Amino acid sequence: MPAKKKEKVVLAYSGGLDTTAIIPWLKETYDYEVVACCVNLGQESELVDLDKRAAASGASKLYELDVIDEFADEYIAPCIRAHAVYENDYLLGTSMARPLIAKKLVEIARKEKAAAICHGATGKGNDQVRFELGIKALAPDIRIIAAWRDPHWKMDSREAEIAYCESKGIHLPFSTDSSYSRDRNLWHISHEGLELENPANKPNYDHMLVTSVTPQRAPDKETALSIDFEKGLPVAVNGKKMKLSDIIRELNKVGGENGIGIIDIVENRVVGMKSRGVYETPGETIIFFAHQQLEELILDRKTYEVKKRLSGDFASLVYEGKWFSPLREAEQAFFEKTQEYVTGTVNLILYKGNIIKAGTTAPYSMYNESLASFTTGELYDHKDAAGFITLFGLPEKVRAMKMLEVKEKAKVKSSRKAK
């Protein structure tokens, strides 16, 4: 009688120590055939020799999916249009990547007819929420294994994971030396751990930074930039038309060289705790700065006010992993409508961590020089303001009159009692 075919599990595979240890653990614990899936979002050097590492760890197959342009066009672009920033500073680099990874894991799981999907996110972080909400939204029938929350998972340190791999005959080039916990993609590089775990400590930027320099180490010279936007998205840098992913790469390079976008923040995680991280976000910082200059010129006051409110809500949805929700889709539709005329050219100067405005032009700009000047023109007569102020301030005036009336009545009543 032929042996029963093993069920398959698709593992979200990064090639790091955690997911390397998870492969033999899944085989030993659940007797699964492990199909590794790495979603390339721009990790670059982290993906070197990934196939060898996966094979050495016992994976039966490795999918390496290059989805950088899909990431840029379908996940980053909506966040640019929304001007989505979480808690004033965080530009959602990890957050916007996780739903795309979840989507690709589900696609591979369907292709392989897998019974389960496994991830290596810890039980304290945001990523477990993002991965699992994405998988549940797209494949509610597929089992999810969260290794770090699994009762069979006994490893609690790098040393334990390395020892476990060696016990399985897996000898890989990972050391027990502590290092930052990093997440890298086209949009950002995040750093957590080591001295950052204590908010009182100064970040060791010389040890930490991967593609950027600090403002102090940036060149003592100005770098001029010109960015063209169409419908809320950058389409050219210094007159050169490029696809969005290449624009981000170009601005990451020039921004990193000038110390732009190094952000040290404490954020409120979905699971309730605060965490500190340092983010290298040069390109996106430049894009968001330039995008804001255009919106200031083009959007009317009420649209701008509503967009700012919804931008914060949209950022929270993305941060919380609710990408595949009707509310995210509805809010995105609103942002796309607001961006129909957000077109123009923004000139900037980069200098030692600073982004300096150098002039903005927009064909749909609502800024009118004759209106903005102090002289009286055909469109605006200073005298017209009197009637406007009377009507606009009517509620305040009526309330003040009523308060005076009540006060006078009380004074008369008090006087009568005194007699």
The sign one gets for the Cα dihedral 21, 27, 30, 34 is positive
Beta strand residue intervals within 269-343, DSSP E: 274-280
What does R_g of the chain's alpha carbons equal in angstroms? 28
List the structure tokens of 326: 């009707």
Residue 274 CB contacts under 8 Å (≥ 6 apart), including other chains: 266, 267, 268
Determine contact, residues 350/258, Cβ cutoff 8 Å: yes
* Of residues 169, 168, 34, the one with CA closest to residue 114: 34
Q: Length of the chain in residues, anyone?
A: 419
Residue 313 backbone dihedrals phi, psi, to 5 degrees: -65, -40
> Which residues carry out catalysis?
18, 98, 127, 181
Angular region, 145: left φ>0, alpha ψ -120 to 50, beta rest: beta
CB 65 within 8 A of CB 242: no
| 246-261 CB burial, b ≥16 within 10 A, e <16 | ebbbbbbebbbbbbbb
Q: Which two tokens stand for residue 271?
A: 């699971």
